[in-house]
Amino acid sequence: MTYWAVKRECAGTTIGVARVKQRNETNGLEAWSVNTTLSDIRVAVHIDGWNVVTGEPVFHHSWPNAFALKLNQSTELGRLDLGALGPSRFKLSENGIGLEDIGFAIRHCQEAPFQAGARHLGLKIARNGADTVVEATANLPIKGLLVQVMDHLDTTWEDNGVDPVPGQIASLRFMGKGLEVGQKHPLRARWMGGEWSRQNNVRPSL
């Protein structure tokens, strides 16, 4: 997990989201982006929030104008007032997404109280062109999902340790051998608060 976290932090373009608290309650979000490449990038940004207990969407906010991210600089994207979106008596999981194909990395500045039980995690072996991928879906936000191949825990992935959220598919490109579409499910998954095995049961992790 440390490797994937560092790899994501070292991506050419990243976006960060921080909670703004007043009297120990979150009343806003601040977002920024860092472009460490040698080219200016123009992006559109939106932020989605989910209830981590029920998986229901809480809010969706899009900034009306695209942002110009200057090369080798950080850019303040602005602040989102949660009070303007309605009652904020919920636990938040935020996900900042760049809407252009530039490979955003997403950073969660604080841990959220993710629930281990009552969670449906779906793992599907699929083909994407010439590549073998594992598609992960979840009905509740999952923090730090690490997918492995049973009996081959040292296999190679292009990405891993992702944070799936409801309504989205996390696609993990498999770069090793021995994982084929249609074979008996050989996958194992762990995340912050639980784990999943080929028996398709979810249980709290130690």
Task: Please measure the distance between the N-terminal and C-terminal CA atoms of the chain and give it in whole angstroms.
Answer: 16
pTM of the prediction? 0.73
CA distance 145 to 78: 29
Q: What is the pLDDT of residue 76?
A: 95
Q: What is the pLDDT of residue 10?
A: 85
Q: What is the pLDDT of residue 188?
A: 87
Structure tokens at 166: 């409801």
Nearest to 23 by CA among 66, 105, 83: 83
pLDDT (tens, 9 = 90+) of the chain, 206 residues, equals 788 888 887 889 999 999 888 887 878 899 999 999 999 999 999 888 888 888 899 888 899 899 999 999 999 999 998 877 655 555 555 555 444 434 444 444 444 555 555 457 889 999 999 899 999 999 988 888 999 888 777 788 998 989 899 989 999 999 987 788 877 668 889 888 788 775 554 444 32
> Residue 5: enclosing H or E segment and its boundaries?
helix 2-9
Q: What is the pLDDT of residue 119?
A: 59
Is residue 129 within 8 A of residue 83, CB to CB? The reply is no
Question: b/e per residue, 13-30, with b = 16+ CB within 10 A?
Answer: bbbbbbbeeeeeebebbe
Q: What is the pLDDT of residue 102?
A: 42
Token pair 């992702």 in the structure block, residue = 162
Q: What is the pLDDT of residue 105?
A: 44
Q: How far is CA 25 from CA 18, 89, 107, 176, in A?
A: 13, 9, 21, 46
Nearest to 98 by CA among 55, 62, 71: 62
Q: What is the pLDDT of residue 113?
A: 52
Question: Which domains are delineated in the chain?
Answer: 1-104 (2.60.40), 118-196 (2.60.40.10)
